[in-house]
Structure 1
Amino acid sequence: MSGGSRGIGLAILIAAAKAGANAVLLAKTDQPDPRLPGTVHTAVAEIEAAGGKAVAVVGDVREEEDVQRAVSTAADHFGGVDIVVNNASALNLTGTLELSPKRYDLMQQINAKGTFQLTRAALPQLFASEDPQVVTLGPPINLAPEWLGKFPSYALSKYGMTLLTLGFAAEFADRGVRANCLWPQTTISTAAVANLLGGDEASRRARSPEILGDAAVALLTDPRRPTGEVFLDVDALRRAGITDLSPYGGGEELELDFFVDEF
């Protein structure tokens, strides 16, 4: 997994650990950040407390050597790679006139390039797996002017993650690789939501990250073996027979996530 030291990525890793998974997470958070909880090392401790095994690789998904080191670590520690989760993502909702080229590049490199780079590096290992899968935290491609006009550069970076993943599904179908995207129907109560989208009030209208964790496990273990699709978390859960979403919180005034138009 790219990222995974906190938030949605960590929730996915913990849910997978409860199902018996091992994990290698590639993230930059070697030291605590006063604005954000968690490091790769605290994440490993939480994953192992949940019943899994985990190894942290401190590195940057933008750097080819770091990405290859993460894949090699997975092969060395666990004998290969069965699943790639493209989770790392940069969020910047600045409009075109206000967004600097440097910030633009950062977003494209982490989001779209990171998805390409991690998946590409892991492909030799995936080809050797009995059931290779790629799951990307990418949204449905919604070309409504409302979304395109709000933050075109962010939309491009996230849609790039989705298009790459759907492309992997088609390109490597004959090699047995299945690739899908997963996206939250509502906002999720993470540090990013609290810091960028409205603090406590935004968090109150959001579901907990655990919904993505359970949805990811449901998608990865779906007996219908989907590929080349974009699933909202609620749809992945529904396919697994889970319709009671009350454990994930959010109350009755939930806020739809970006690129999602209706409940």
Structure 2
Amino acid sequence: MTTQSLAGKTILMSGGSRGIGLAIALRAARDGANIALLAKTDTPHPKLEGTVHSAAEQIREAGGNALPIVGDVRNDDDVTGAVLTTQGEFGGIDIVVNNASVIDLSRSLDLPAKKYDLMQDVNVRGTFMLSRAAAPILKDAENPHILSLSPPLNLDPKWLGAHTGYTLAKYGMTMATLGMAAEFGRFGIAANTLWPATTIATAAVQFALGGDAMMKASRTPEIYADAAYEVFLQSSRDYTGRSLIVEDVLTDAGVTDFARYAAVPGTPNAELFPDIFL
């Protein structure tokens, strides 16, 4: 069984005020999906565009139903409240997207302990707690999915040692997700990870990776959104426990031309910047 549309489906996402998370939400909204966003950004940030409220407005304009929930994925009460509020508003939960993530590529000797803890709390613990809290409700969905925006487990020392603190946090997201795929498979709940082959033009790339030069050598968040959409349409009982690559998912869906996803139109694929961990 594959789902042909996300109309009437309910997505609970951590983060989503901007960037990749918002792009995924907007793609689902075009089908008429319900999207609940658990995000901290209640008021405008001086450097980052968008709030949970502005994201909700864009979701509604795209054709979906939006439920903005101001909260922190690190707070257990906020997580439980988001799950119950989403269920109460929309009658259930079909998809959980673990989008919230903190990035710091500092080397181990330069990484502040507080930043290490923050990455572990948001990336790993947040993924685990939100997925776990939603699982009893996901069990009742027709085609339930958990999707975490994290990379495959590449044990090459090049990546293990490049930024050990961040690597631990992102690989932790993946391990939590693959563990839940094994644990919850008997309930028909799929759990997969999704990661792009090239960098994506987001605030993380702008401020943490490479500035304007890397932004110009990246793809737009829409490529991630289109791939996530394809994952959500798959049968949850068959399509699970996978570390997926964005471009491979789209290729399998019949996409042959990725030129439209270039952040700068006309940029050859060979000039795009490969993402980390691959």
Structure 1 length as normaliser, TM-score?
Answer: 0.97
Name the CA distance, whole Å, in 1 between partners of 2:33 and 2:183.
27
Partner Cα separation in structure 2 for residue 212 and residue 19 of structure 1 = 17
Distance 1:191 1:112 in 2: 21
Amino acid at match of 1:149: G
CA-to-aligned-CA distance 1:44-75 (integer Å, 9 cap, x gap): 01111111001110000000000111111111
Deviation at 1:108, TM superposition (A): 0.3
Structure 2 contact 143–235 (Cα < 8 Å) conserved = no
Q: What is the distance in 2 between the residues matched to 1:223 and 1:63? A: 32
- Give the CA deviation at 1:19: 2.1
1:222 Cα deviation from its structure 2 partner:
2.7
Alignment equivalent of 2:112, drawn from 91, 100, 105:
100
Note if contact 1:222-1:240 (Cα within 8 Å) is conserved in structure 2.
no
Secondary structure (helix, strand or coil) at the match of 2:147 reads strand
Please tell me whether residue 221 in structure 1 is matched to residue 239 in structure 2: no
Task: Kindly indicate whether residue 99 of structure 2 is the aligned counterpart of residue 81 of structure 1.
Answer: no
**Could you tell me how far apart the structure 1 residues matched to 2:75 and 2:114 are?**
17
Identity %: 53
Pairing 1:113–2:125 present: yes
Q: Does residue 1:135 correspond to 2:153, yes or no?
A: no
Whether 2:82 is the aligned partner of 1:70: answer: yes
Instruction: Tell me the amino acid that sits aligned with residue 226 of structure 1.
Output: Y
**How far off its partner does 1:20 sit?**
2.2
The question of 1:243 aligning with 2:260 is answered no
**Structure 1: unaligned runs, 5 residues or longer:** none
2:247 to 231, 234, 237: 234
**Is 2:146 the counterpart of 1:146?**
no
| AA in 1 matched with 2:134 | A
In the TM superposition, structure 1's runs of 4+ consecutive aligned residues that sit over 6 Å from their partners are none
> 2:9 maps to what in 1?
none
TM-score (ref. length: structure 2)? 0.91
C-alpha distance in structure 1 between counterparts of 2:58 and 2:257, whole Å: 26
**TM-aligned CA deviation for residue 181 of structure 1:** 0.5
Match of 1:256? 274
Range that drifts further, 153-162 or 237-246: 237-246
Residue equivalent to 1:187? 199
Provide the C-alpha distance between the structure 2 equivalents of 1:173 and 1:233, rounded to a whole number of angstroms: 23
Evaluate the alpha carbon distance shift between residue 178 and residue 223 of structure 1 in structure 2; reply closer, same or farther with a 3 A threshold: closer
Equivalent residue in structure 2 for 1:91, among 103, 117, 121: 103
- 1:254 corresponds to which letter in structure 2? L
Tell me the matched-pair count: 260
Deviation at 1:223, TM superposition (A): 5.3
Residue segments in structure 2 that go unaligned for 5+ positions in a row: 1-12
- Displacement of 1:93 in angstroms is 0.3
2:3 matched residue in structure 1: none
Over residues 158-186 of structure 1, what are the superposed CA-to-partner deviations in whole Å (9 max), with x where a residue is unaligned? 00100111111110111111111111111
Q: Is the 8 A contact 2:27 2:225 kept in 1?
A: yes
Aligned to 1:25, the other structure's residue is in SS state strand
Amino acid in structure 2 at the alignment position of 1:113:
R
C-alpha separation in 1, matches of 2:146 and 2:208:
28
After superposition, the CA RMSD in angstroms is: 1.1
1:150 aligned counterpart, secondary structure: coil
Question: Quick check: 1:159 aligned with 2:177?
Answer: no
AA matched with 2:155: L
